[in-house]
Amino acid sequence: MRFEFATAGRIIFGRGSLGELRGALRDMGTRRVLVVHGANAERANPLLEMAREGGIECMRFSVPGEPTTSIVEEGVRLARGAECDGVIGFGGGSAIDAAKAIASLAANPGELLDYLEVVGHGRQLTKASLPWIAIPTTAGAGTEVTRNAVIISTENRVKASLRSPLLLARLAIVDPELTRDLPPAITAATGLDALTQLIEPYVCNRANPMTDGVCLEGMRRVARSLRRAFENGAADDAAREDMALAALFGGLALANAGLGAVHGFAAPIGGMFPRAPHGAVCAALLPEVMRVNLRALRAHDPDSAALRRYDEVARILTGDDKALADDGAKWVADLCAALDIPKLGFHGITGADIPLLVENGLRASSMKPNPVVLTPGELAEILQAAI
């Protein structure tokens, strides 16, 4: 056994923990920070006020959708030009990924494309990022504790990553109260992304005992709380807390184990259909990937430990000690239906897109840790069923 585990320098979790920001900024010794937030600028006002009360100069930068290469380049110009000495990412996965990339590139020589995988030169980042703080306002992506930032190249219609241990946040503040007002559709999509990011690392071929522990605990919390957060999220603080923790655990797991075919497809789909929310795409794919993975494992590798792991997933999700792997896949499919998750066709994906998505999916880094190697035919079958 050999594994490593790397995460944010410090994690503060709890209701109201946003209030710890002022002290954290003081400890970091920053004077001028770039606050990267989502489309709704007002939501960041309390945070800006808090920082300013602490004597810190704040500049804001809005990232309205998933970060593109040009948005990140603009943010880097702003941070360099204003000589910011810190960055805060406040929002969903998109704002936090943008903050992560900006904090890093502002401190490294050259430009984004020098370092970006796939569409850029993929050079290694060499310098530590500007100290940066991640504060998620959704419960899904877990990107506050991951060491990659996903960026869309609109020109090439692909998603590519900046990847380095140097990208890790100095501090992650996970405050479930920030997710209280999320609308049900976003709660559903982001929550199912979190669930996917707990199941895929648990059954993948790079799982380790540390990520196993967080995956199992995270799945328990999603099982008991995602429906409740969807139905009554504004009042059910306990469900919001469970989901915030589950999302954080998914981030810890995916960064230190790996993912699988759901995310292997989510990357090329996100590049070709940038308006399709990542979580909704993952949710539509998850039950189909579980079904085809199980069939392929039984056919090619019947003694695989992954099959026993899928049984364990089923027992946790259903709460039934006698449940078997297929019951887990069915439970996920039922949950997607209850949470009104649309099929992939809703986002404009059609059968004509399948060959290119299969080709690009086969090359995606997330496809490699899938517990079984899927054939192009099996991959096409997954997409067909999810459309």
- Residues near Zn ion (CB under 5 A) are 193
| Closest CB 265 distance from Zn ion, rounded Å | 11
For Zn ion, the closer CB: 253 or 372: 253
| Closest CB 373 distance from Zn ion, rounded Å | 21
For Zn ion, the closer CB: 143 or 225: 143
For Zn ion, the closer CB: 66 or 85: 66
| Closest CB 149 distance from Zn ion, rounded Å | 13
Of the candidates 131, 128, 133, the one whose C-alpha atom is nearest the C-alpha of residue 164 is 128
| Closest CB 94 distance from Zn ion, rounded Å | 12
For Zn ion, the closer CB: 30 or 190: 190
Give me the phi and psi of 62, to 5 degrees please: -100, 135
For Zn ion, the closer CB: 286 or 325: 286
Instruction: Evaluate whether 223 touches 330 at the Cβ level (below 8 Å).
Output: no
Exposed/middle/buried for 55, CB within 10 Å: 0-12, 13-18, 19+? exposed
Chain centroid to CA 140: 6
| Closest CB 258 distance from Zn ion, rounded Å | 12
| Closest CB 366 distance from Zn ion, rounded Å | 9
| Closest CB 197 distance from Zn ion, rounded Å | 5
For Zn ion, the closer CB: 286 or 292: 286
For Zn ion, the closer CB: 193 or 381: 193
| Closest CB 263 distance from Zn ion, rounded Å | 6
| Closest CB 270 distance from Zn ion, rounded Å | 10
For Zn ion, the closer CB: 85 or 193: 193
For Zn ion, the closer CB: 66 or 378: 66
Q: Of all residues in this chain, which one has the CB nearest to Zn ion in the complex?
A: 193
Say how far apart CA 194 and CA 139 lie, in whole Å: 7
- Token pair in block for residue 117: 């995988």
- Token pair in block for residue 292: 């085809």
